[in-house]
Amino acid sequence: MNPEKVLFGFFIVLALTLNFGFFVGELDNPDHHHVYELFAVIVVNMVATVLKFGDRTQMGAVLLATSLVALLQLFAAALVWVVAVHVTEAGLTTVTMASIVSLSGGAMLANVVSVILLIIETVMLRR
C-alpha cells in the first residue's frame, strides 16, 4: 500500500463528495446550500490540486488539469457569493444562488472526471 496514493485518492473523492453535498438541493433556494460547505469544497479542492503537483505521468497531468478546472469554477462561485452579499449588498437572491450552485455543478463535473480517471488508473494497475 502506497500512503501517497491513499492520501491522493482520499482527497480526490472527498472533493467530489463535498462538492455533491453543496450542489444537491433546490437550485435557487439559499436554504439548501450552506456557505460552510462551499468553504470546505474549496479547501479540499485546493489540497487535491497541490497534491498533483510534480506528477510526471500522463494521468497526473490530466488529473491536475481537471482539478484546476474545478478550482476555477469554485473560485468563480465564491466570487459571485462575495460580490452578491458584501459588495452589492443585494443579498442571496434566487438568481445569484442559481448561478453559484450551477458554477459549483460545473466544478462537480470536473471532480467526477477526476474520480473516473482515478478509477481507470486503479483498474489498469491490476495488482
Partner 1 sequence: MNNIFFLIFRRMRAPLLTLILTYSIAMLGLVLIPGKDPDGNVWHMDIFHAFYFVSFMSSTIGFGEIPYAFTSGQRLWVIFSIFFTVVVWLYSIGTVLALLKDETFQNALTERRFAKQISRMCESFYLICGYGQTGEALVKALTDRNQHAVVIDILEDRVNLLKLENLREYVPGFCGDARLPAHLLEAGLNHPLCEGVAALTNSNEANLKIAITSKLLHPDIEVICRADSHDIENNMASFGTDFIIDPFDAFALHLATAIQAPCLSLLQDWLSLGKRDMLNDPVYPPSKGLWVICGYGRFGKAVYDKLVREGLEVVVVEAEPDLTGKPQSPFIKGRGTEADTLLEANIERAVGLVAGTDNDANNLSIIMTARELNSDLFVILRQNLKHNDPVIQAVNADMVMLPSDIIANRIRVLLGVPMQHQFVKLVMHQDDEWACQLISRISALVTHHAPEVWEVAFSEHDSHAVCSYVRRGNQLTLGELMTDPRDRSTKLPCIPLMLFRHNDYILLPEEDLKVQKDDHVLFCGALYAENRMDWTLQNENALNYILTGEARPEGWIWRRLRKREVT
Q: Which range touches partner 1 (CB under 8 A), out of 44-52, 67-75, 92-100, 110-118?
A: 44-52
Q: Which of 2, 58, 86, 89 binds partner 1 (CB under 8 A)?
A: 86
Residue 41 or 110: the one with the smaller Cβ distance to partner 1 is 41
Residue 27 or 47: the one with the smaller Cβ distance to partner 1 is 47
Q: What is the 3-state secondary structure (H, E, C) of the chain?
A: CCHHHHHHHHHHHHHHHHHHHHHCCCCCCHHHCCHHHHHHHHHHHHHHHHHCCCCCCHHHHHHHHHHHHHHHHHHHHHHHHHHHHHHCCCCCCHHHHHHHHHHHHHHHHHHHHHHHHHHHHHHHHCC
Q: Is 46 in the site for partner 1 (CB under 8 A)?
A: yes
Residue 78 or 113: the one with the smaller Cβ distance to partner 1 is 78
